[in-house]
Structure 1
Amino acid sequence: MNTNQKAMELLEEHNIEAALKLFRKAVLEKRGVQSLTNLAWVYLHEEDEIENALTLIQEAINLNPKSHFPYSLCGELILKMEKYEESLHPLLTSISIQPSSATYHNLGVAKYHLGEPAEAAMYFGLAEGKSDFTLFNQVKCLIVSRQLAEAKKILATFNENDDDFIGEVDLAELYAELELYKEAVHWYDKGWGIYYKQPDWIAWYVHSLIKTNQKMRAQKIINEVIQLKKEELVEAYEEKIDEDWSVQDKQQNIIQLSNEIKEYQTMIERVSAGVLPQLTFEPSPETGCYLFGCKRHGHPEYED
């Protein structure tokens, strides 16, 4: 059993410190594509050492690897540094060697942040998401690029029974943004008992109810959440201070809950006047296992 194989076994056992020592040893034994890539991956995902990981993976790329792993990892690293233009070359090189869903997704992220939502939507589509946030991103980019018919078509493919389903309220947001308020209300209803009550999404729920002529129901929902927040406020005042919950934490929680109650009390009026919270959208990079010799994912060791 070589050093990389021993390191992989320790990593699989979550013995990170011991695994890291062996991954470093493998680099000392031979600064090759495999050892550099694997150590870079561990630095990123176990140690959060982005700069060190990037230095290693760039060295691996200088060896002209025939695997897409180093390029995929390099693109992911550069995306995390928010250098979107710079990330394109390694990501496109990765795709030219072997297309993968994660890399298509990351190209979508880069293109969106570069102000190219139509191209971003194309790449998110190539990633072939299934009711997940990749598909969510595709729909959002289609909306931003005003490809509304296509956005509605893709939106209809979401299935709550899929393993990576984004969630009811997130799906409702897409329907609300496309002004499909009946469908939005359906999904907000389903998410009501699951999601933590926050003013931003509840405002859009209220908006959807008003748009479907259910203003009285909207008021009922607001009354319900106000009562809930008042109960949380009572509990907040009674919370004891300890090493995990400081006086400042307690005060901030009380202030936040008090402000939320005030916000709910004027929500119907503001939403009826067209004042809605902005729907934020910040697609984030997706990762993958780019470890040579990973038995869990069936990755062979790299052959020079």
Structure 2
Amino acid sequence: MSKYDEIDFEKVSLQLQEQVEQDPHNVKLRNELAIVLMETNEYEEAFFQLQTAAKIKPSVQTLYNLAYFYFTEGKPIIEATSNTKETQGFEEEAEEESMSYTWEMADKEAFDIVEDLLKNKPEHYFIYNLMGEMYIKKDKYEEAINVLKEGIHLTPSLENLNNLGLCYYQKGMLPEAAECFHKAHPLQSCNNYSLFPLLSYGICLAQLGRGSEAREVAKELLMLSEREEEELESSIAEIYYILGDYEEFINIYSKLDWDFYSEKFLPAYFYSLWQLSKTKEIEELAFKTIRRKEKEMKEVIQDPDEEEDFKEEYEEVTIEEIAFIKNAIKEVYKGKAPIIDYKPEVETRCYLYGCFRHTNTNPNYFSI
């Protein structure tokens, strides 16, 4: 348990609300209150505080935090009843017992704010990291590369280096991607201990034909995954599959509990078994998996408490899954190697300025 888990955030929230009432133009207090409100899951009120702070004093800090909230949480939409007016302010609406909110995505609002902030070349990497994520979400990898490079120039981090590597990977620039992933991994911190940059590095090495290096990375990943209880074994095994080391691939896959894995993982396993002339294992696993799926489908169909629409959908999906397994075996027996479509993970962390839980810095509050 961290020291923050021992904090009575509701008590702190009440104290900050009193201070804000006494000093309503203090945007630093409003920012602190918003962060505490998020800790108590009062996101509508947190949004109001960030929005108000940005209106009172538009600055890198206030505008950026509002943009970050838009991107990660969306925006609350007021659902007014017949007793309320849609034009009321957030503070007035909070007093209406019949008022409720729905949430919707607000990526455009976030993008517009951050794009405008970047025109002034801010000197902190959070803003560049966030814009990089926004571009990646839109599959605009060239734009993401440019902005992430600026963030890295200010402060290299696991997130911006990994995400730059992701962009290079998507553009087929494997040597550049490998270098970024390699640099990202040592920058693990208490805020982000992800093993995905190292995994992506191993995948790149394998695809580049750097077998001995890729194997060393895979061994390290297996050790770290077990130690950190990350359960990345199936992904790590892909390094061996790409290298054509089917024996080691099978060694890892044979230990998986297939009750918890999608049938999408089976073709590569079937092919590896076929490469080693282990067709009996293919037939046994396929038979066992299909029987399990048929049993589960029957139980759902016969359950009187389940909705008919759900039963029909479940049956349709299960039939498709079984057909997928049977077809995978046919393709493997023809000697067709399944292609593993690896996709690097986007790395992120809390980028909220002033977040005390993540010890984030807080730039000044001067207007821009």
TM-score by length of 1: 0.89
> Secondary structure of 1:94's partner?
helix
* Superposed counterparts of 1:142-161, under 5 Å: 142-158=205-221, 159=223, 160-161=225-226
Residues of 1 paired with 2:284 and 2:160: CA distance?
45
Q: Work out which of the residue numbers 254, 273, 282 in structure 2 matches 1:218.
A: 282
Q: Is the 8 A contact 2:157 2:184 kept in 1?
A: yes
* Superposed counterparts of 1:177-256, under 5 Å: 177-193=242-258, 195-198=260-263, 200-240=264-304, 245=307, 247=309, 249-256=310-317
Q: Deviations over 1:39-63 (max 9, x none)?
A: 1111111113111111111222233
Q: Is the 8 A contact 1:139 1:155 kept in 2?
A: yes
Residues of 2 paired with 1:61 and 1:131: CA distance?
28
Q: Deviations over 1:214-257 (max 9, x none)?
A: 32222221221121122123124224576xx552x432321332
Which structure 1 segments of 5+ residues have no match? none
Deviation at 1:259, TM superposition (A): 3.3
Residues of 1 paired with 2:175 and 2:304: CA distance?
52
Report the aligned-residue RMSD.
2.3
Q: Is the 8 A contact 1:121 1:137 kept in 2?
A: yes
Residue 170 of structure 1: aligned partner: 235
- The one-letter amino acid of 2:68's match is W
Q: Deviations over 1:65-86 (max 9, x none)?
A: 2211111111111111111111
Change (3 A) 1:82 1:131: closer
Change (3 A) 1:102 1:235: same
Q: Work out which of the residue numbers 47, 58, 67 in structure 2 matches 1:31.
A: 58
Which structure 2 segments of 5+ residues have no match? 1-18, 20-28, 75-104, 187-192
> Secondary structure of 1:127's partner?
helix
Residues of 1 paired with 2:194 and 2:240: CA distance?
14
Residues of 1 paired with 2:194 and 2:124: CA distance?
29
- Count of aligned pairs: 300
Residue 151 of structure 2: aligned partner: 94
> Secondary structure of 2:114's partner?
helix
Residue 14 of structure 1: aligned partner: 41
* Superposed counterparts of 1:106-125, under 5 Å: 106-125=163-182
Q: Deviations over 1:165-218 (max 9, x none)?
A: 3522222233222211222112112212463341x3112222222333432222
Structure index of larger Rg: 2
Give the percent of matched residue pairs that are identical in Structure 1 and Structure 2. Answer: 28
Residues of 2 paired with 1:165 and 1:42: CA distance?
28
Deviation at 1:276, TM superposition (A): 4.1
Residue 87 of structure 2: aligned partner: none
TM-score by length of 2: 0.75
